[in-house]
Amino acid sequence: MNKVNAITNNAENWMQVRRQGLYCVPAEAYIDPHEPVERAIITHGHADHARPGHGEVLATPQTQAIMKVRYPEDNPVRISLEYHQSHGLKNNINLWFAPAGHVLGSAQAVVEFDNHRLVVSGDYKRHDDPTCKPFEVVKCDTFVTEATFALPVFSHPKLEHEMSKVLRSLDAFPERAHLIGVYGLGKCQRVMKSLRNAGYQDPFYLHGALVGLTKLYEEFGQDFGQWIAATELKGKAREEMRGRIVLAPPSTLADRWSRSLPDMLPIMASGWMQIRARARQRRAEMALIVSDHADWNDLIRTVEETEASAVWITHGRTDALEYELRKRGIHAKALDLIGREEDSE
Ligand SMILES: [Zn+2]
């Protein structure tokens, strides 16, 4: 795309950081605002990006569906856009979504105005995920990136490698219920699907809090094989979880229900598991490094592939990434956005 003169085509002139979040002035629209606004462009369904109470929500059909599950009372005007479907906003702003590879329906918001293209990537990753469309590089003038794992120490292993640890442990400890702590949107389904791809055939046992979104993934065509609502199993029936995989939200890893599982082996799946102290905090006996965010190398590679001359960094380890990109001659700056959760995996 044309690199045109910086005065008329500088996104700084028409994008603002406001209290509610990143704001596109001519479109009168916020991107992932953390307070209720009139018009919101939502990149994906995680709670720190998709909040209830907006007047109008522009998002992919999958993200709209996720928001309906999470906020059944919420009733905004919904404008659903498939990936690559253009939509005209006020003042000749063109909006379309490109896959972000983060969770089901996750998108980069591509905003085009006055011959300038700005891409807000939301959260994204470049590693394999059999449950969503892979990240697509969109060449642009201004790229807005997250920085959750933006330190050189973060290098995420292959998914198959982490899954094989679970399968080996099941062989070694067939009497123990293997309880994996996973976030309900994305991580849970990605772990299930990749275990299936690795050949695991027994049923999964799902904590009740994971059932709704897993069903939604199935409605969008994902197949996880047989799974059983674990919290409905009472008394002796719970014995069938020995030697099987149970999935539950991280917050429940140490609660009464989890501790009462037969000979429970606690496992935590998260990008943060690369930090030993975090695994200890979660009281995990086994840590799986499974991240839904880009690691250090992928962040830099992605920025370079977009060929953006300006990079805005929204949340996470902004300093390190800003420094590294500037060293490479890219005009990078951290945006002072509030409301993003560090542990938002
Ligand atoms: Zn996210």
CA of 302 to the centre of ligand 1 (A): 17
Q: At what angle do helices 187-197 and 159-172 cross, to 10 degrees?
A: 70
Distance from the CA of 166 to the center of ligand 1, in angstroms?
Answer: 25
Domain match, 105 and 139 both:
yes
106 and 89, same structural domain? yes
pLDDT tens-place string over residues 20-53: 999 999 999 999 999 999 999 999 999 999 999 9
For residue 83, give the DSSP letter.
B
pTM, two decimals, is 0.93
For the CA atoms of 124, 45, 214, 170, the dihedral, rounded to the nearest 10 degrees, stands at 40
Centroid of ligand 1 to alpha carbon of 247 (angstroms): 19
- Ligand 1 centroid – CA 135 distance (Å): 14
What distance in angstroms lies between residue 243's CA and the mean position of ligand 1's atoms? 31
Residue 342 lies in a domain: no
Would you say residue 44 lies in a domain?
Answer: yes
146 and 225 share a domain? no
Domain assignment of residue 144, given as a range: 11-153+293-334
Taking the centre of ligand 1 as the mean of its atom positions, its distance from the CA of residue 5, in whole angstroms, is 34
Whether residue 4 is contained in a domain is answered as no
Tokens of residue 293, six digits: 């965010």
Q: Is residue 166 part of a domain?
A: yes
- CA of 152 from ligand 1 middle (Å) equals 21
CA distances from 198 to 143, 165, 189, 242 (A): 35, 11, 14, 20
pLDDT tens column, 257-304: 999 999 999 999 998 888 877 777 777 899 999 999 999 999 999 999
pLDDT at 4: 41
- For the chain, the 3-state helix, strand and coil shares in percent, each to the nearest 5, are 30, 25, 45
**Residue-averaged pLDDT of the chain:** 92
Q: What's the Cα-to-Cα distance from 338 to each of 21, 35, 67, 136, rounded to whole Å?
A: 7, 11, 21, 27
Please give the tally of structural domains in the chain.
2
Shared-domain flag, residues 28 and 52: yes
- The pLDDT of residue 344: 52
* Among the listed residues 217, 215, 216, 244, the one whose alpha carbon sits nearest the alpha carbon of residue 230: 244
For residue 176, how far is its CA from the centre of ligand 1 (angstroms)? 32
Summarize pLDDT for 104-151 with one digit per residue, the tens.
Answer: 999 999 999 989 999 999 999 999 999 999 999 999 999 999 999 999
Quote the pLDDT of residue 341: 60
Query: What is the token pair recorded at 114?
Result: 């006055």
Mean pLDDT of 148-165: 93
Cα(44) to centroid of ligand 1, in Å? Answer: 7
Q: What's the CATH code of the domain at 53?
A: 3.60.15.10
